Amino acid sequence: MAKPLTLEEISARLKAAGPVGASPARLLAVSKTQSVDAIRALAAQGQRHFGENYVQEALAKIESLGPLDLVWHLIGPLQSNKCREVATHFDWLESLDRPKLVPLLARLRPPQRAPLNVLVQVNIDDEHSKSGCAPDQVLPLCAQVAAASGLLLRGLMAIPAPVPDMALRRAAFRRMRALFDTVRTQYASVDTLSMGMSDDYELAASEGATEVRIGSAMFGPRSTT
Ligand SMILES: *Cc1c(COP(=O)(O)O)cnc(C)c1O
């Protein structure tokens, strides 16, 4: 594995890769399996947004890093029995993929907190992955989120199949961008398209991602996942 990239290196690459005239994609640092100290070190360099996959693991980190006022995103699959923790402790949910969770999250979001920012996760390759809703379900699910109190629809997220053929990945990113543009014309709150990971974030940025989610390229390889 290549040497981990610094925040400056990643932001320079994101700036270079993105469409001319657009603001560079935001970096979501994917800190699953990483230590509190590793997160603290990045936060000390100015990184604000962190992504976690497992609710239980994230809660301990959110708790111990509370004073740093970081912005926490859940990017892993969400079970209905974890909605309370997510609604209570996270700032963003990027993996909403079914209608059933919407009323639960809306009811459980504490009224004194800002609305939970929500991305609808799309299964853009329609393949074996069970995560994400089908593309034809995106608009109904967005409408449901937009109408729910305590939730703020911010956009879409996808994890395209990690195929070696980069032309296929580019095509998936383009389909996501087209869906995103459709959703964005309907909801003023929508501004976020989260796609691209360690091995394809520059490609995703060039296809109009507004957020990329990077773990191993920045932290080094994970011992477990
Ligand atoms: C783990 C993970 C990432 C980051 O993966 P890397 O390849 O380590 O950059 C991004 N998004 C999701 C949803 C993940 O689960």
Cβ of 151 closer than 6 Å to ligand 1, yes or no, is no
List, for residues 34-89, the tens digit of each pLDDT value: 999 999 999 999 999 999 999 999 999 999 999 899 999 999 999 999 999 999 99
List, for residues 138-172, the tens digit of each pLDDT value: 999 999 999 999 999 999 999 999 899 999 999 99
Helices 36-44 & 55-64 angle (0-180, nearest 10): 50
Protein residue with its CA nearest to atom 7 in ligand 1: 198
* Distance in angstroms (rounded) separating the CA atoms of residues 24 and 16: 8
What pTM, to 2 d.p., does this model score? Answer: 0.96
The full set of domains in the chain, from first to last, is 7-216 (3.20.20.10)
* Distance in angstroms (rounded) separating the CA atoms of residues 134 and 137: 5
Contact 148, 103 (CB under 8 A): yes
Cβ of 30 closer than 6 Å to ligand 1, yes or no, is yes
Q: What does the pLDDT read at residue 1?
A: 58
Q: What does the pLDDT read at residue 224?
A: 57
Cβ of 159 closer than 6 Å to ligand 1, yes or no, is yes
Q: What does the pLDDT read at residue 2?
A: 73
What percent of the chain has pLDDT above 70?
Answer: 97
Higher pLDDT among residues 4 and 183, named by residue: 183
Residues 176-204: what's their mean pLDDT? 98
Protein residue with its CA nearest to atom 11 in ligand 1: 213
List, for residues 101-121, the tens digit of each pLDDT value: 999 999 999 999 999 999 999
Protein residue with its CA nearest to atom 12 in ligand 1: 75
Mean pLDDT of the residues in the chain: 95
Give the residue ranges of DSSP H helices in the chain. 7-17, 36-44, 55-64, 83-89, 101-108, 138-147, 166-186, 201-206, 216-219
Q: How far apart are the first and last CA of the chain?
A: 16
Protein residue with its CA nearest to atom 10 in ligand 1: 213
Q: What does the pLDDT read at residue 130?
A: 74
Cβ of 144 closer than 6 Å to ligand 1, yes or no, is no
* Distance in angstroms (rounded) separating the CA atoms of residues 137 and 114: 27
Report the atom number in ligand 1 closest to the C-alpha of 75.
13
Checking if the pLDDT of 207 tops 90, the result is: yes
